[in-house]
Structure 1
Amino acid sequence: MKTLNQRLSEIKVVPVIAIKDASKAAKLAEVLIDNGLPCAEITFRTEQAVDAIKAMRSAFPDMLIGSGTVLTTKQVDQSIEAGVDFVVSPGFNPTTVKYCQQRNITIVPGVNTPSLVEQAMEMGLKTLKFFPAEPSGGTAMLKALTAVYPVKFMPTGGVNPKNVNDYLAIPSVLACGGTWMVPKDLIENEKWDELAQLVRDVAGIID
């Protein structure tokens, strides 16, 4: 069985999704899979997150699914119950990290400074989210961090078609998180053909 890092490095771009209507989740997952991105990070920014994850997992058992914007241990429990493969948090919260470790679920917490990277490493974490990537110094800051610390990163926040390859060219970067291929209005209005084209475009952009 492939590790999470192996699967992320193969996919390269993780769609970060805030979905308002869980009834559209399975179809969205189908569009992602059929057009080359068999992965989704469903954020807890909407009340439908848990139901959306459950719908995707039920429809596509092998899809790589993470929960995002996880801020509490309750959300960790909800994520695990819904069937996620991994948990993502915007910042580094030791309480949340410890709880994920106790529950035996991989967490990729957000960091953007040397001190936070070291705190994460102290807790045994080797895969981290660089967030918010662009406001935190972009590829220049990330290269500075990777020159010092033996960890892998998933940059998210400001990553777009113009800079995604710059991030992916950094050896320590497994994959990038992005929202540009899953705009909320297209999901809400069920513009599946337009979404499919955006997802296909990602495959044409990344090296």
Structure 2
Amino acid sequence: MYRKLENLNKIIDSGIVLIVRLPTEQASIKVAEAAIAGGITVIEIPMAVPNALGVVKFLSDKYRDKGILVGVGTVLDGETARAAILAGAELLVSPNLNPDMIKVANRYQAITLSGAYTPTEIQNTLEAGADIVKLFPAEFVSPNYIKSVLAPLSHAPISPTGGVTPENVHEWFAAGAVCVGVASYITKAAGQDNDYSKVTKAAQTFIAAVNKAKNQ
């Protein structure tokens, strides 16, 4: 199957992009692997993570053939986009619109999740060639914001990032979200005792909530 289409379907089918942003390289790998054990299939490693591209290469080499999609977050320019792809990333995420990032991603058939907030930014992001619009930061709006935006922009695939929980995720999907960006509920579940089994359990809980929301 066409790889990009397969990966895009993977994101939509799973409904979750897990953002793994931990203070060390090793912690990021451990949390990512624990989340994968819990059923997460789409992982984003932000560039703020120490040796982020090394983490991406490790996860991509180990899990790509096991159906896991590994991406890079906070991709702010074309140079970073190309470096991420060379490290094995098949998903590029940015908090804002950067046409060069999208151009490089499309050149090499990587998926883009590009940040926007207002209707104008959302439409500009789509016209630049992004695959999915990352509504960021979503914690300052309610799901009704997506519903209102989609009234005139029904063609926009929107993924809210920030403030999404198992308790409210059904509201975001009901409003029209195609997937959601998730972080601390899962990535910080290990707590100070570094019990990574709690990360696995948190991933399972969130996945169950998303599946229930998508089937309502």
TM-score (norm 1): 0.87
1:174 — aligned with what? 178
Task: Give me the whole-angstrom Cα distance separating, in 2, the residues matched to 1:89 and 1:188.
Answer: 29
1:44 corresponds to 2:41: no
Task: Give me the whole-angstrom Cα distance separating, in 2, the residues matched to 1:48 and 1:23.
Answer: 10
1:17 — aligned with what? 20
> Structure 1 pair 93/187, CA: closer, same or farther in 2 (3 Å)?
farther
1:60 corresponds to 2:63: yes
Query: Which sections of structure 2, spanning at least 5 residues, go unmatched?
Result: none
Alignment of 1:1-207 (within 5 A): 1=1, 2-61=5-64, 62-135=67-140, 137-149=141-153, 150-171=155-176, 173-179=177-183, 180-183=185-188, 186=190, 190-206=194-210, 207=212
Task: Give me the whole-angstrom Cα distance separating, in 1, the residues matched to 2:62 and 2:191.
Answer: 17
Task: Give me the whole-angstrom Cα distance separating, in 1, the residues matched to 2:191 and 2:60.
Answer: 18
Contact 1:20 1:188 in 2 (8 A): no
Instruction: Kindly state the Cα deviation for residue 102 of structure 1 after the two structures are TM-superposed.
Output: 3.3
Contact 2:190 2:197 in 1 (8 A): no
Task: Give me the whole-angstrom Cα distance separating, in 2, the residues matched to 1:196 and 1:148.
Answer: 39
Task: Give me the whole-angstrom Cα distance separating, in 1, the residues matched to 2:81 and 2:28.
Answer: 20
- The one-letter code matched in structure 1 to 2:90 is D
Deviates more, 1:161-170 or 1:24-33: 24-33
Query: Which sections of structure 1, spanning at least 5 residues, go unmatched?
Result: none
Instruction: Kindly state the Cα deviation for residue 147 of structure 1 after the two structures are TM-superposed.
Output: 1.3
RMSD over aligned CA atoms reads: 2.2
- The one-letter code matched in structure 2 to 1:43 is P
> Structure 1 pair 66/188, CA: closer, same or farther in 2 (3 Å)?
farther
Task: Determine which structure has the larger helix proportion and give its number.
Answer: 2
- The one-letter code matched in structure 2 to 1:157 is G
Task: Give me the whole-angstrom Cα distance separating, in 2, the residues matched to 1:13 and 1:122.
Answer: 24
Instruction: Kindly state the Cα deviation for residue 69 of structure 1 after the two structures are TM-superposed.
Output: 1.2
The total of aligned residue pairs comes to 204
- Secondary structure of 1:104 counterpart: coil
- The one-letter code matched in structure 1 to 2:61 is S
Instruction: Kindly state the Cα deviation for residue 187 of structure 1 after the two structures are TM-superposed.
Output: 7.9
Instruction: Kindly state the Cα deviation for residue 76 of structure 1 after the two structures are TM-superposed.
Output: 0.8
Instruction: Kindly state the Cα deviation for residue 98 of structure 1 after the two structures are TM-superposed.
Output: 2.5
> Structure 1 pair 104/203, CA: closer, same or farther in 2 (3 Å)?
closer
Task: Give me the whole-angstrom Cα distance separating, in 1, the residues matched to 2:194 and 2:39.
Answer: 19
Deviates more, 1:105-114 or 1:122-131: 122-131
- Secondary structure of 1:42 counterpart: strand
Instruction: Kindly state the Cα deviation for residue 146 of structure 1 after the two structures are TM-superposed.
Output: 1.2
Contact 1:19 1:42 in 2 (8 A): no
Instruction: Kindly state the Cα deviation for residue 3 of structure 1 after the two structures are TM-superposed.
Output: 3.0
- Secondary structure of 2:204 counterpart: helix
> Structure 1 pair 188/114, CA: closer, same or farther in 2 (3 Å)?
same
- Secondary structure of 2:19 counterpart: strand
Task: Map Cα deviations across residues 149-188 of structure 1 (whole Å, 9 max, x no partner).
Answer: 20211110121222211112233x22100111111x8388
Q: Percent identity?
A: 24
